[in-house]
Copies of this chain bind each other. A is one copy, B any other.
Amino acid sequence: MKTRRHAKILELIQERDIDTQEELLRCLRGAGYDVTQATVSRDIKELRLIKTLSSEGRYHYSTGQENAPGVSTKFLTLFADSVLSIEAAGHLL
C-alpha cells in the first residue's frame, strides 16, 4: 500500500507543481489514497523529496536529481500500475 502511494506521489510531483503537503494530500485523496498529513510528511521524508524554489520564486516539492522528463514519469506510472495489477491479482498467485 505504502509502495503504491509512494509511486503515486512521485508521479504527482512531476506532473504538476505541488507547493505544500496539504496540496499533495488533496491530490492523493483525489487519486483514492485516503491518508493524512502526518503520513504525507513521512512519505516525503522516505522519498527524500525536497522543497525547491521554482524559477518563479515559489516553493514546490521535487526529487533532488532532475531526471529526464517523460521517460521516468512513464516508468513510474507503469510501475504504479504494475503494483496495482499484482495486488489485484494477488490471491491468484
| Residues of A near any B CB (own CB < 8 A) | 45, 48, 50-53, 57, 64
Report the copy number of this chain in the oligomer.
2
Nearest residue (CB) in B for A59 is B45
How far in angstroms is the closest Cβ of chain B from A22?
18
The docked-state distance in angstroms from the alpha carbon of A50 to that of B50 is 7
Nearest-Cβ distance from residue A6 to partner chain B, whole angstroms = 15
Q: CA of A21 to CA of B92 in the docked complex: distance in angstroms? A: 52
A52: chain B residues at CB < 8 Å are: 48, 50, 64
Which chain B residues border A51 with CB–CB below 8 Å?
A: 50-51
Quote the shortest CB–CB distance from A58 to chain B (angstroms): 10
A52 to B50, CA, bound (A): 6
A52 CA to B48 CA, complexed, in Å = 7
